[in-house]
Amino acid sequence: MSDAFTLYGSSSSGNSLKPKWVADKLGIPFRWVEVNTFNGETRTPEFLKLNPAGQAPVIVYPDGRALAQSNAIMLHLAEGSALVPRDAFARAKMFEWMFWEQYSHEPTIAVRIARKHYLGMSDAELDPALLTKGNAALARLELQLAQTSYLVGQGLTLADVALVAYTRVAHRGGFDLGQYPAVKAWVARVEGDLGLKPAD
Ligand SMILES: N[C@@H](CCC(=O)N[C@@H](CS)C(=O)NCC(=O)O)C(=O)O
């Protein structure tokens, strides 16, 4: 991967920040193009040519190849690095967390953050299941992180990057990380590893 790619992303989107953090951590050069995901910029004919799903993030190489889905982009960027365990079972465990993130964590926590914090919806307007399911996801993380420093054993992997993205700003969605001390400590640990300042 010698050619710098362009990352189309939104600074307010954890999904967009995931591949940015991986590229920064691994010293991979790229160009960031800010996209507003709330005003239809991802639905223009030009953007749909890059990602027909109409979502950020998407990366584009100088030769025109494009890749979407935050976790797929991270996997591509981090292949062969220490962020992807060499051991097959540990690697599969990393995938287990990443698939779970997209099905059970992001659709509850990120969606509540977007609606409450960015779109200004009141608690009464929000589906109560988002809070219940989001807290269930945080409890699932707490169970693991009370036992291990990182989600897969004792070192940072893409599973941590995927899951910290929205967990670190979960308070914006009305979640209280004070109820999850191991998660809170892990967020600080991963932010340190990625060189991020604590959110808010
Ligand atoms: N599963 C996708 C989700 C991407 C996604 O939901 N992107 C949102 C921002 S976080 C977006 O671009 N929304 C604009 C739209 O749907 O029009 C990923 O992980 O990349």
**pLDDT, mean of residues 150-154:** 92
Which residue has a Cα nearest atom 11 of ligand 1?
55
Report the alpha-carbon distance of residue 64 to residue 189 in Å, rounded: 37
Per-residue pLDDT at 200: 82
CATH 3.40.30.10 is the classification of domain 5-78: yes
Q: Does the CB atom of residue 157 touch ligand 1 within 6 A?
A: no
| Token representation of residue 79 | 């292949």
CATH assignment of 88-194, among 3.90.226.10, 3.50.50.60, 1.10.10.10, 1.20.1050.10 = 1.20.1050.10
Q: How far is the CA of 154 from the centre of ligand 1 (A)?
A: 30
Q: Does the CB atom of residue 51 touch ligand 1 within 6 A?
A: no
Q: Does the CB atom of residue 70 touch ligand 1 within 6 A?
A: yes
The 3 state secondary structure assigned to 5-27 is: EEEEECCCCHHHHHHHHHHHHHC
Atom of ligand 1 nearest to the CA of 40: 17
Report the alpha-carbon distance of residue 167 to residue 176 in Å, rounded: 10
Rg (CA), the chain: 17
Summarised one tens digit per residue, pLDDT across range 64-118 is 999 999 999 999 999 999 999 999 999 999 999 999 999 999 999 999 999 999 9
Summarised one tens digit per residue, pLDDT across range 167-191 is 999 999 999 999 999 999 999 999 9
Helix (H) / strand (E) element for 191: namely helix 181-194
DSSP state, 39?
T
Measured distance between the N- and C-terminal CA atoms of the chain, rounded to whole angstroms: 34
Q: Where does the chain hold its CATH 3.40.30.10 domain(s)?
A: 5-78
Angle at 186 between CA 110 and CA 121, to 5 degrees: 20
Report the alpha-carbon distance of residue 33 to residue 45 in Å, rounded: 17
Q: How far is the CA of 64 from the centre of ligand 1 (A)?
A: 21
User: At residue 5, what are phi and psi to the nearest 5 degrees?
Assistant: -105, 170
Q: How far is the CA of 15 from the centre of ligand 1 (A)?
A: 7
